[in-house]
């Protein structure tokens, strides 16, 4: 099934998105954040805790800020210390954290060999990322995922990583292709990454390097047993977006939820802090070949899915533009949307098909992520299963790539193993019985499907034109996405975003994407 889409409108939307993101990319180039600087140190090997449960990278960056050196970059300061002492990065950061080491002088920062040392440490870090990337490719080649249907994606969220592992392996055995470990509620607002394996969390499990390692090992073992590579998903969003991306790159995660505006809109994080962090995190994802998932599906939980459908498409164009600027190929852009139209609306399924097919055709090379109905789910379990079945049908008919299975008890309590098994069983049935349906149907020229798709595309184009005229920061202030207003100078974490000094150094900016 193909819709007749006005390709000139699509091209104009991309041009407008480029005009929208260009001024922000110019601002990004002049700024850094505490999290970007901590990411550099983490990639170089800084890890662990210091003192009262403070991560070593946080403590080191705080010390450099207090010394007035952070504007030159943590890389320049720590590389200068490495030259002076010959000690490894972990010891240097611990020394800064505990006060044993004094920060270097400004003259020491500018020694010619400092940049060479920083580059060497960064090249060693990227070699570790490349090793993880190569390992993933080898496993996928040995145990390829299904090519004849969308990847079935489910969540685990017990709060205890060891219980999550049990649930994840069970889900893989029931047919899941992707396992997302939901983060503990509000972790995106923590300005640090928790450390070690965690066994307590509310609404999810903390994203930590050790939790990543444990879950990846368990899914590797399951992949070997099942003969099908199982992808691991987590969240690179919030105040530690690039740090999570760096840890995921080393520990070989496959997907990260990573949206350019989600943290601003839904978590009230400072806009410039978010845009700087998302750019560096996406550069890391590009290097590691991690698929990002964007969050446009969330718009339809706070705004009407019919009236606001065009905001999803407009945001996808903006996310695509930011992603291209960070070096991500289309094959790594898991642009998101959702099946959220009121089921009582006449021809609602027709409109869902039009939206899904439009997005599939506008982004033909992207692994589109399709989200299940949530807003109109009730306590009626029979209606709930029918809604999920219609969602499954829309997904397979329009060739979506990443399909998040609707689980009836999600958001009521942590889903039981059998709840997840039934969701996977239902999705597999629909995708088997309707596997070729979309290829056998034609969209009627001038019909309702085509008209709805044309309407959404035209409205998205008009919205992008308005945003290009007023600027994205002003658009966010006016609440043009998700009906939520965010001020350019407001939000959490703004104090952690700063202007770079002329001597600023981050070697990864040159090395990533070579």
CA distance 457 to 433: 31
Q: Does 369 qualify as catalytic in the annotation? A: yes
CA distance 509 to 89: 19
User: In sequence order, what are the residues at sequence separation of 6 or more whose Cβ sits closer than 8 angstroms to the Cβ of residue 385?
Assistant: 408, 426
Q: Does 492 qualify as catalytic in the annotation? A: no
Catalytic residue from among 47, 297, 388, 392: 297
Where b means 16+ CB within 10 Å and e means fewer, 122-158 reads beebbeebeebbeebeebeeebeeeeebbbbbbbbbb
Q: Which helix (H) or strand (E) holds 54?
A: strand 54-55
Describe the strand order of the beta sheet including 291-293 as a list of residue ranges: 333-334, 291-293, 255-257, 231-235, 178-181, 151-156, 402-404, 369-371, 336-338
Catalytic residue from among 153, 235, 262, 504: 262
Name the token pair of 269.
Answer: 């994080």
Q: Does 459 qualify as catalytic in the annotation? A: no
Contact 309, 462 (CB under 8 A): no
Name the token pair of 87.
Answer: 């000690």
Q: What is the DSSP letter of 259?
A: -
The CA-based dihedral angle spanning residues 474, 480, 483, 489, taken in that order and rounded to the nearest 10 degrees? -10
User: In sequence order, what are the residues at sequence separation of 6 or more whose Cβ sits closer than 8 angstroms to the Cβ of residue 102?
Assistant: none
CA distance 475 to 17: 13
User: In sequence order, what are the residues at sequence separation of 6 or more whose Cβ sits closer than 8 angstroms to the Cβ of residue 366?
Assistant: 320, 330, 331, 333, 334, 335, 401
Catalytic residue from among 369, 392, 492, 504: 369
Q: What is the DSSP letter of 431?
A: H
CA distance 231 to 219: 8
Residue for token pair 């409205």: 459
CA distance 67 to 69: 6
Name the token pair of 352.
Answer: 């869902």
User: In terms of DSSP H, where are the helices of 30-85?
Assistant: 34-44, 56-66, 74-85
Query: What are the residue numbers of the active site?
Result: 262, 297, 369
């Amino acid at each position: 099934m193909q819709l007749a889409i006005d390709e000139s409108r699509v091209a104009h939307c991309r041009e407008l998105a480029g005009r929208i993101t260009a001024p922000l990319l110019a601002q990004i180039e002049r700024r850094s954040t505490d999290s970007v600087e901590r990411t550099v140190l983490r990639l170089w090997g800084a890890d662990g805790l210091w003192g009262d449960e403070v991560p070593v990278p946080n403590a080191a960056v705080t010390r450099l800020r207090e010394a007035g050196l952070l504007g030159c970059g943590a890389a320049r300061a720590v590389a200068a210390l490495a030259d002076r002492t010959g000690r490894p990065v972990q010891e240097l950061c611990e020394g800064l954290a505990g006060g044993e080491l004094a920060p270097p002088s400004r003259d020491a920062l500018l020694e010619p060999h400092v940049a060479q040392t920083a580059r060497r440490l960064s090249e060693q870090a990227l070699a570790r990322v490349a090793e993880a990337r190569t390992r993933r490719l080898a496993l996928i080649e040995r145990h390829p995922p299904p090519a004849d249907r969308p990847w079935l994606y489910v969540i685990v969220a017990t709060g205890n990583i060891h219980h999550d592992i049990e649930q994840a392996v069970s889900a893989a055995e029931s047919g899941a292709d992707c396992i997302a470990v939901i983060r503990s509620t509000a972790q995106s607002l923590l300005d640090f990454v928790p450390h070690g394996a965690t066994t307590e969390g509310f609404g999810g499990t903390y994203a930590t390097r050790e939790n990543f390692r444990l879950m990846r090992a368990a899914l590797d073992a399951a992949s070997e047993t099942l003969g099908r590579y199982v992808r691991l998903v987590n969240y690179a969003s919030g105040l530690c977006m690039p740090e999570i991306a760096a840890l995921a790159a080393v520990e070989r995660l496959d997907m990260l939820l990573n949206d350019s505006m989600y943290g601003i809109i839904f978590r009230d994080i400072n806009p410039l802090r978010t845009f700087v962090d998302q750019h560096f995190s996406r550069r890391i994802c590009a290097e590691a070949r991690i698929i990002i998932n964007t969050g446009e599906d969330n718009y339809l939980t706070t705004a009407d899915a019919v009236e606001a459908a065009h905001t999803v498409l407009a945001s996808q164009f903006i996310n695509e533009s930011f992603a291209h600027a960070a070096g991500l190929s289309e094959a790594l852009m898991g642009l998101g949307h959702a099946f959220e139209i009121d089921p009582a609306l006449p021809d609602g399924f027709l409109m869902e098909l039009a939206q899904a097919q439009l997005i599939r055709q506008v982004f033909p090379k992207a692994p589109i992520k399709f989200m299940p109905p949530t807003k109109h789910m009730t306590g009626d379990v029979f209606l709930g299963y029918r809604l999920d079945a219609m969602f499954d049908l829309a997904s397979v008919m329009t060739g979506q790539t990443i399909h998040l299975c609707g689980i009836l008890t999600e958001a009521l309590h942590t889903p039981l193993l059998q709840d997840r098994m039934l969701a996977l069983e239902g999705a597999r049935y629909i995708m088997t019985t309707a596997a070729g349906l979309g290829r056998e149907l034609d969209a009627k020229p001038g019909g309702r499907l085509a008209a709805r798709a044309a309407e959404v595309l035209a409205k998205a184009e008009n919205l992008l034109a308005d945003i290009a005229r007023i600027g994205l920061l002003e658009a966010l202030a006016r609440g043009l996405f998700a009906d939520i207003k965010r001020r350019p100078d407001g939000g959490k974490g703004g104090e952690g975003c700063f202007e770079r000094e002329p001597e600023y150094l981050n070697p990864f900016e040159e090395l990533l994407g070579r």
